[in-house]
Amino acid sequence: MTPVLLLAGLGHSHLFVLEALRKGELPPCRVLVCSEEAHHVYSGMVPGWLGGRYSPSELTVDIAAICASTGAEYVSRNVAGVDAVSRTVLLSDGTSLPFDVCSIAVGSRPAGVETEGVREWAWPLKPLQRVEGVLRQLKTLAAARAGAVTVVGGGLAGIEVALAARARLRIEGAPSNTVPVRIVNRDAALSTGRGRGFTSRLEDACARHAVAIHHNARVNAVSEHGVQLNDDEQLPSDVTIWATGPAAAPWLANCGLAVDDRGFLLVNEHLQSLSSPHVFAAGDCATLDHARDTPKAGVYAVRMGPHLARSLAQALRGAPVTERYDPQQRWLTLVNTGDGRAVASWGPFTAQGKWAMRWKDKIDRAFMARFSDPVHRPRDGVSR
């Protein structure tokens, strides 16, 4: 009987599995792709789109079309649970599907969404339809030349989206002094994890573009026109963007599979669940048991992709899974500062300039072309 490979979610890693299917690198199998979102959005280009550099079509991959071209079956429902014993998944509509091998790449959700008012008044960076709402709100503020924008989160995503928001306001004709943009950061400095030199360059970019930073601050509540900080300070905010660090989807910890102390699935060096040899996971939703400090970043999800595809191929053949993934110690980070430039970091090296943005643009476009155009297959590449 033909085995069933079920892909839960549209994380970066699963693009490589679908590529392996198209190239005939998987054994004969029935492939099910489960996600309510029919388009994969490349998160590394979302700030560039918000800041006016890209169109939506340039950062999305039509998964339904890829499924049609590879013979995979697209199921327009999210996975809400996994039973590794019976080898079934529970879908968001209450139905279930069987599998022989299951791979989970559902990413993460922003931390702190349970904070008062966040679900009602804050804008997350996923899915793309919500970011389109941010764009509409920014255009409204720019037209009125009034209001304020708050980005909650001092990591790389928060920095990029704050600078992108400033760029969008500038494109729409709003001078910096008419619509304040600020970052609320819980730490004493911007949390880049890449050293003081890199952080200083990003802080300089924020200062240059009138993006204020509130350090050592936490949001206690969000309302329609403001945020309340932990010291009871009230900040006016007409557009509040929630760009906090990653948190695990709650259902992961409730499906009987091993998880870490934050609720992310624990996997071994083969990207295989510690609880079941038939379940694999990659990207943000997974934590490597032998390298638990690996950052939850897109660059790792992309690097996991080819390893995941090979591990799944071995599992589908019923062979021992020997493919091994060890995370790289250094990785390239390129942060779009919204002004045609980017800040680059590689190990101790940091730099900035238009050349860095051209480099980031080339890498990002090559990644998208690899999966959008089945003929064009550039070398692997990814930037933050």
pLDDT in tens, 299-315: 999 999 999 999 999 99
pLDDT at 128: 75
Which of 32-46, 87-101, 362-376 is the least confident region? Answer: 362-376
Q: pLDDT value at position 192?
A: 65
Percent of the chain with pLDDT over 70: 96
* The pLDDT of residue 379: 37
Average pLDDT over residues 4-26: 96
**By the 8 A CB rule, do 7 and 103 touch?**
yes
Predicted confidence at residue 129, as pLDDT, reads 77
For the cut 70, the answer to whether the pLDDT of residue 362 exceeds it is yes
Question: Each residue of 188-227: pLDDT tens digit?
Answer: 888 767 788 999 999 999 999 999 999 999 999 999 999 9
